[in-house]
Structure 1
Amino acid sequence: MTEFSFECTGVRADRYAAGPTLLFRLRVTAADNARVHALALRCQIRIEPARRGYESAEADGLADLFGERSRWGNTLQPVQFAQVSLMVPGFTGETEVDLVVPCTYDMDIAATRYLAALKGGEVPLLMLFSGTAFTGAAGFRVEPVPWDREAAFRMPVSAWREMVEQHFPGCGWIRLPRDTMDALLAYRSQRALPSWEATVRALLEEKGTTDPPRKDPYLALTRTTGGTDL
């Protein structure tokens, strides 16, 4: 059976993608200069937070994920980052390809909250590979790529931030239920507010006010979210 090894040599933001996307440069090696007709890969990428240090500000931002710093010995567990597929074209011995990883800026996702809390440095990643190899110098045979194939990589936080800035420059992103969005839209329309930023700011300024009239859509908003400070 052909022995495969994998190495991640770099990462960059995809400037031409429709959504936030990272391109990991992947080096694939087949032992003994073997001929590979094609390689159908599955790749699971995990963040391994225990493999780096954290500043005080970063620790504060990670409290909702891992709890108080005194508990991190037990709570600093791997975080799922992505699971993607890749078809590697035919090669002999060694080749390099881009592993395309679509990302999200949804702050309800643990990996996004983790990355957003980091101020700099590197993100320790572990890539786990499996799949099917189509090999053979003078023929054709099918071989499995076992799950024990893996590659460690330290992704610069700057690569993540560059990707986010390309699609959400200077902005954050939150996901809200549809009824909350409807209430926000009604609140904005009734007050002729020019933007969503102005809408949220108006809500924050009203934080200390008394309960609104029952017909006010603002009431539906506070009932849905349990508060006004979004």
Structure 2
Amino acid sequence: MNEYRFTVLDVVAEPYAVAPQLTARLRVDAGEGRAVHAIVLRCQVRVEPQLRRYETAEQEGLRGMFGEPDRWAGTVRPFQWMQCSATVPGFTGRTDLDLPMPCTYDLDVVGARYLHALGSGTVPLSFLFSGTVFTPGTTGFAVEQIPWSCEARHRMPVAVWRQMIESYYPNSGWLRAGSDVLTRLAGYRDRHGLTSWDETFQRLLAAADGPAS
């Protein structure tokens, strides 16, 4: 089996997608002078949170995921963020391509919850590649598989994630709630004549916190 080398050149916020998306700029090296008809590429993107340090505020934001900081040596482990794919057109030797990375700001999803808690620095990412390669053969073309051992690492600035989220959700976020909870919230908002969901949540939070001491 031929050796393929993958490099992540950059990860950028995609400004023109219909839904929130990052784009990974990849380089694929098939070997000098080697012709490839096409690649059906699949990629599993994992976050490796144990490879960075966390400020106090970040530790507070991640308490629900990893527990108390004194337990993090046993609880902070790599996790899958997403799976994505792309079709690579024919090339000889080496080519660069864009890999779409569709994202969500649903805070029930572990990746969004983790990234939301970060204030600065970088996010250690691991890209695990697989897929099907079509190459010239003695009769037509030949087919071979990319093994999961093909991988690349990249440290994405937290600012890239925040730039993407801000472009799709300016000064806002996204929460998912059950239909019965939404019905009760809507009823509370109507009964109290509140004009927005922000005002509704602020009223409920103020009631839960009680009077300032």
Q: TM-score range by the shorter chain?
A: over 0.9
1:63 paired with 2:58, answer: no
Q: After superposition, what is the alpha-carbon deviation per residue over 1:64-97, rounded to whole angstroms, capped at 9, x for unaligned?
A: 1111222111111002111011111111111111
Q: After superposition, what is the alpha-carbon deviation per residue over 1:150-205, rounded to whole angstroms, capped at 9, x for unaligned?
A: 00000010100000100111112211001111111122122221111111122223
Cα 1:96–1:137 change in 2 (3 A) is farther
Alignment of 1:102-141 (within 5 A): 102-136=102-136, 139-141=140-142
Size of the alignment, in residue pairs? 209
Once the two structures are aligned, what percentage of the paired residues are identical? Answer: 49
Amino acid paired to 1:175: R
The alignment partner of 1:119 has SS state of coil
Cα 1:208–1:103 change in 2 (3 A) is closer
Q: Report the aligned-residue RMSD.
A: 1.5
Larger radius of gyration: 1
Cα 1:80–1:135 change in 2 (3 A) is same
The alignment partner of 1:207 has SS state of helix
Q: After superposition, what is the alpha-carbon deviation per residue over 1:111-134, rounded to whole angstroms, capped at 9, x for unaligned?
A: 111111111111000000001000
| Aligned match of 2:200 | 199
Asked if structure 2 preserves the Cα contact closer than 8 Å seen for 1:46 and 1:81, the reply is: yes
Moved beyond 6 Å, runs of 4+ = none
Amino acid paired to 2:174: W
Alignment of 1:164-183 (within 5 A): 164-183=165-184
Offset, 1:33: 2.5
Alignment of 1:6-25 (within 5 A): 6-25=6-25
TM-score, reference length from structure 1: 0.86
Unaligned runs of 5+ in 2: none
Asked if structure 2 preserves the Cα contact closer than 8 Å seen for 1:35 and 1:137, the reply is: no
Unaligned runs of 5+ in 1: 210-230
Report the Cα distance in structure 1 between the residues aligned to 2:148 and 2:33, rounded to whole angstroms. Answer: 22
When structure 1 is superposed on structure 2, of 123-132 and 105-114 the one drifting more is 105-114
Offset, 1:140: 0.8
TM-score, reference length from structure 2: 0.93
Amino acid paired to 1:21: Q
Report the Cα distance in structure 1 between the residues aligned to 2:151 and 2:50, rounded to whole angstroms. Answer: 18
Report the Cα distance in structure 1 between the residues aligned to 2:6 and 2:77, rounded to whole angstroms. Answer: 24
Amino acid paired to 2:10: G
| Aligned match of 1:4 | 4
